[in-house]
Amino acid sequence: MELYALTPIEEISRRISKIQSMIVAHGIDAILITDNTNIYYTLGRVISGWVYIPAKGNPIYFVRRPEGLKGDNVCYIHKPELIPAELSSRGYTLPGTLGLELAVTSYLTIERLKAVFPECAIADASKIMREARAVKTDLELKMLRQSGIKHARVYSRIPHIFRPGMTDIELQIEIERISRLEGCLGQFRISGDSMELFMANVLAGDNADNPTPYDFAMGGAGLDPSLPVGADGSIIKPGMSVMVDANGNFTGYMTDMTRVFSYGNISEEATRAHRCSIDICRELEKMGRPGTKASDMYEKAIETVKAAGLERHFMGYTQKAGFIGHGVGIEINELPVIAPRSRDILQENNVLALEPKFVVPGVGAVGIENTYIVTSGGLERITDSPEDIISLE
């Protein structure tokens, strides 16, 4: 198998060059990557092994599995202790300062790698990789747009698979089925110490107000204490809202989209809150240009919510989320973060999801979520699906 058969070498070179410029800016001599997300970003495929990126020169891919990868910068080894000797044999000077992904790599692995490079000072490369991935290349944007098209296609079929008497989990299973048939990979890559989710979060009625331990915008009790989030087996009844936030990973790059469905009529307050969510998105679409502070976008949303008198319901009722948006890409929670204390500033070709949502007791969750590309003219929406509440009748 050719190493770059899946992603053009020109694309990988652009990403490596971006990382190398950031390595130099941080005063690091090289980084050693172990995390699957970052391996995929720097190679275009996932391997079991390590990616070594020097501040100058070509990266080296130290591979344990799969067998059969071919390329001048492929080196098969079975343990990291062999890396220094292999680097020296290829003419690489061992780094004085080595970057490791301290935020996402286990303590035992970090300690082992420190012992492999006993003379090296260790620096954290986690932020470098998150910031590098935050600004997408043209190929990444193309893949995200493709995911957005298929994501919207799945949502268009949801009213046709609903049957009266369904539970929320039965509807979720049918949504997941058509998603997989549309090409969804089924994988939800999430960064974080304790962030877990299956393929979709379907919230019917008051289950939307059940708090969850995870840092998601909406909650749900879930089906079991081992995964306390999402659908809980509630029967979908007249007067309920049904919020669908389903997996958009069709290309290895994920779009994030939420739409709300209703069974029968829902309250005027819930309808008004949903309209407010759409209004917030329209305002932030105009505001979201390169150079805009993420915290200013959050404050603009809060202003709109307060003007509508809906702050009690915003981003949860019993338990509230502290953000209204986040970057997306290989992982569902990338930079930038749209939150009140965020220091992020929007850059051209950031990709982010905005999700100003509300919980109305007795009805459920309302509000939309879209994925956008940051452009010089504002936010370009790539999840093109109807935004009004959609009837299931």
| Rg of the chain, C-alpha, whole Å | 22
Which residue shows structure tokens 């997941």?
176
> 2 pLDDT exceeds 80?
no
pTM of this structure: 0.96
**Predicted local confidence at residue 359, as pLDDT:** 98
Stretch 374-386: mean pLDDT, rounded? 98
Is residue 197 pLDDT above 90, yes or no? no
The predicted model gives 49-76 an average pLDDT of: 96
Q: What is the pLDDT of residue 198?
A: 86
Tell me what the mean pLDDT of segment 213-219 comes to: 91
Residues 6+ apart with CB under 8 A from 388: 274, 278
Angstrom distance (rounded) from CA 243 to CA 228:
17
Chain Cα centroid distance, residue 25 = 26
Q: For position 196, what pLDDT does the model report? A: 86
Indicate whether 4 pLDDT > 80: no
